[in-house]
């Protein structure tokens, strides 16, 4: 397998992993995938026309890549420079979205992210992540039981 094909496989696997995270411990009755329709797939593909959606999807992708070992992170980020990898990823993400959300939900997401408020929410994604991390650390420092549950000594 050549390097370009290998990058495509890595990127597609990563996109699938992002689209279907493992259920939280103790979670029962998790929603099931919905049948993919041509309309649902087109609606999912149209989400990439919404800048706020592209921004959120890109951030999620890079966050997931950051959790990889350094050598895999570097090669995966490098693979994102390949237009074919991006095309594959967009297809995987669109199919995953179409399997997860109904047509009405996809259309609502596109409408919501196209508003000023939706764009503002997307712009604040990094801020929310930073605030959540700080608050989690502060809570663990002040609550020994939470620290124990989070695996801290």
Chunked into runs of 10 residues, the chain (153 residues) has average pLDDT values of: 51 49 57 88 96 90 86 90 91 91 95 94 88 86 80 62
134, part of any domain: yes
Same domain, 3 and 49: yes
Same domain, 110 and 134: no
Prediction pTM value: 0.67
State how far the Cα of 114 lies from the Cα of 117, in Å rounded to an integer. 8
Same domain, 12 and 78: yes
- Domain of 98, in residue numbers: 1-18+35-114
How does 1-29 read in b/e, with b if 16+ C-beta sit within 10 Å?
eeeeeebbebbbebbeebbeeeeeeeeee
Same domain, 58 and 108: yes
Nearest to 75 by CA among 67, 83, 84, 65: 65
Instruction: List the structure tokens of 54.
Output: 């592209």
- pLDDT at residue number 117: 93
- pLDDT at residue number 106: 96
Same domain, 74 and 5: yes
Same domain, 6 and 78: yes
137, part of any domain: yes
29, part of any domain: no
27, part of any domain: no
Structural domains in the chain (count) = 2
- pLDDT at residue number 30: 73
Same domain, 69 and 133: no
Nearest to 89 by CA among 51, 60, 121, 50: 60
30, part of any domain: no
- pLDDT at residue number 152: 59
């Amino acid at each position: 397998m050549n390097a370009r094909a290998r990058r495509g496989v890595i990127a597609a696997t990563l996109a699938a992993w992002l689209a279907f995270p493992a259920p939280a411990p103790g979670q029962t009755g998790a929603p099931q995938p919905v049948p993919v329709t041509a309309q649902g797939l087109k609606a999912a593909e149209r989400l990439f026309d919404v800048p706020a959606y592209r921004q959120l999807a890109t951030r999620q992708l890079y966050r997931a890549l950051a959790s990889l070992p350094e050598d895999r992170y570097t090669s995966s980020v490098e693979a994102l420079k390949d237009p074919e990898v991006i095309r594959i990823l967009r297809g995987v993400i669109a199919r995953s979205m179409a399997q997860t959300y109904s047509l009405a939900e996809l259309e609502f997401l596109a409408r919501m992210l196209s508003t000023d408020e939706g764009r503002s929410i997307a712009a604040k994604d990094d801020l929310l992540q930073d605030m959540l991390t700080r608050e989690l650390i502060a809570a663990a420092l002040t609550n020994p039981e939470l620290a124990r549950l989070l695996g801290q000594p």
